[in-house]
Amino acid sequence: MSTILLEMTRSRRRALRRSPRTRGRRTAELDLDGAQRRHRPVLASELVDVLDPKAGQTAVDCTFGDGGHARLVAERLGAAGALVAVDRDPLAEERFAAFAAGAACSTRFIRAGFAEALELLSSEGLRANIAYFDLGMSSMQVDTRERGFSYSYDAPLDMRMDPGQELSARELLADWDERRLARALRDFGEERHAAAIARAIVRRRTQEPIETTLELVDVINAAIPAPARFAGGHPARRVFQALRIAVNDELDQLDRALPLAWKSLRAEGVLAGIAFHSLEDRRLKRFLGDRARGCICPPELPFCVCGREPEATLITRRAIAPSAEEIARNPRASSARLRAARKLASGQVR
Ligand SMILES: C[S@@+](CC[C@H](N)C(=O)[O-])C[C@H]1O[C@@H](n2cnc3c(N)ncnc32)[C@H](O)[C@@H]1O
């Protein structure tokens, strides 16, 4: 540990400084092995089943991560196929290099937010057979403790998927006013005690900056009623989810990316998404459901005047959840939900 600390910059060390409240509770600070750990692809066989990749097709993996899903898809695409991989994390780009060296199909990596990457691909006129999203964080991100995604280890409050972006969780907590903080905790974390936690954050930062994950956990614990600290999971879970979503602008990215991914698909192409919380799952469900809806005339009209026809058929009428075996093997998969739809050729109504 001491060698690692010696190698850190002064500012890094300051960010890791323990507050009096966290002293004595710090677990290992940096997990350099974390970055080496493999991400277990979630709902992998289910995703490949709904995508049904075929030789010679083109696929866009919008969230490459460790390439777990991409490997399975690439095998099916074969030498005549192509896979475009997107991720905003430089660690994913490093993993892509190893993937590309052994990939069965031709490959390309775009390091960008998936909304920007899909805009680029659309401007290039890409026509894909498959596009998919595996949303949220990768295990590589959570387990690289210094990136501050987890409330389980003390680390600088960072949470940026793209370390090049300016806004980190620490800056957000230092700069956002109380109302904006409370709204983010409510909207992105569905946190019941959002107002009290936002008030406590603002009060604490007037005394000293909140710089580490465990300092924030202390503020949350002190702000919520005692029974809430022991009910239903870790008391900081929702706040950390909210901060991560806010820092990475995750919902806005998804709202912009879904129509672009849909537009990039050829007829009979498939769009699929794996979501890990209801805010994402609702967006996927609504987006795909809207594509699959035909006439929207009021029921009292005797005939259709809107002329709207479905653009899609739903492959998953209900979201697919992981099996009990998968959850036992990989508890992080437990909240995953997969949805998918197939694009219809225009005029082809089912
Ligand atoms: C759950 S992991 C994907 C894991 C991958 N499917 C695998 O099997 O290894 C999600 C990945 O998506 C990336 N990501 C999340 N939101 C993104 C966005 N808006 N734009 C680009 N990449 C994003 C994250 O950096 C992370 O690497």
pLDDT in the model for residue 102: 95
- Maximum separation of any 2 CA atoms in the chain, in Å: 77
**Among 138, 142, 258, residue to substitute to test ligand 1 (most atoms within 8 Å of Cβ):** 138
User: How remote is the CA of residue 347 from the centroid of ligand 1, in Å?
Assistant: 35
Angle between helices 194-207 and 178-189 (to 10 degrees): 140
* Ligand 1 geometric centre to CA of 101 (Å): 20
Nearest CA to ligand 1 atom 24: 137
In angstroms and rounded to an integer, the radius of gyration of the C-alpha atoms of the chain is 22
Domains of the chain listed by start with CATH number: 44-139+250-343 (3.40.50.150)
Residues with CB under 6 A from ligand 1: 39, 41, 63, 65-69, 86-89, 92, 113-114, 134, 136, 138, 161, 250, 253
**CB 247 within 8 Å of CB 159:** yes
Strand, helix or coil for residue 60: strand
Contact 85, 65 (CB under 8 A): no
Non-local (6+) Cβ contacts of 301 within 8 A are: none
The structure's pTM equals 0.87
Protein residue with least CA distance to atom 8, ligand 1: 68
Rounded to the nearest whole angstrom, what is the distance from the C-alpha of residue 18 to the centroid of ligand 1?
Answer: 31
- State the pLDDT at residue 37: 61
Residue 242 burial class via C-beta count within 10 angstroms: exposed 0-12, middle 13-18, buried 19 and up: buried
What does 78-133 look like in DSSP terms, one character per residue? -TT-EEEEEES-HHHHHHHHHHHHH-SSEEEEEES-HHHHHHHHHHTT--EEEEEE
Query: Which of 270, 64, 27, 58 minimizes the C-alpha distance to 151?
Result: 27
How far is residue 61's CA from residue 56's CA, in Å, rounded to a whole number? Answer: 16
Atom of ligand 1 nearest to the CA of 113: 20
Q: Which residues of the chain have pLDDT under 50?
A: 1-35
pLDDT given for residue 187 in this prediction: 96
